[in-house]
Structure 1
């Protein structure tokens, strides 16, 4: 019997345990596991994602803008960002 093994996230309704058959729940659980594994593999093989996210969060926390959405938009459309990410990835690889 493949039932969810965790409680629902805080603020969400309880799982409807009768909504899916055991087979459907097993298929869904397998899909979730495979998706998570694929996501982890992608993140391991694409260090630029880590550089983008950590760089953005660092700037966000240092500057503490009043308008986060506008700050995020400006950060990610910066024409210098691709070169900065490429440089940081190279620096990180040289450290390893």
Structure 2
């Protein structure tokens, strides 16, 4: 899948109307479930904010490597 962008659109024409409706309902349910989870875990916002702040300060060339490495955890202030 090298070279494919994350924003590449799916061809919904290959799905039947029933499959498209099922996919639409699945996406809506997933968004609702994700929103409920994030509202019940406000610490996630703190963790994401900390990661983004470190990334923007350091501006790594390879963001995936940065996220996977300990650089993402350096200077991390415990929230508990």
TM-score (norm 1): 0.59
1:32 aligned residue (8, 27, 30): 27
CA contact (8 A) 2:12 2:20 kept: no
Aligned position for 1:6: none
Which of 63, 77, 84 lines up with 2:78 in the alignment? 84
Please name the residue that 2:42 is paired with.
47
- Name the CA distance, whole Å, in 2 between partners of 1:42 and 1:23: 28
1:7-59: per-residue Cα shift (whole Å, max 9, x none)? xx986356241x22211211111011001110111111111111111001101
Q: Rg: which structure is higher?
A: 1
Residues paired across the two proteins, number: 75
Structure 1 residues 56 and 27: alpha-carbon distance in aligned structure 2, compared to 1, 3 A threshold: same
Aligned to 2:55: 60
Q: Flag the 1:33–1:57 CA change in 2: closer, same or farther, 3 A.
A: same
Query: In structure 2, how many angstroms separate the alpha carbons of the residues matched to 1:16 and 1:34?
Result: 19
* RMSD (Å) for aligned C-alpha atoms: 2.9
Q: Which runs of 5+ in 1 are unaligned?
A: 1-8, 87-96
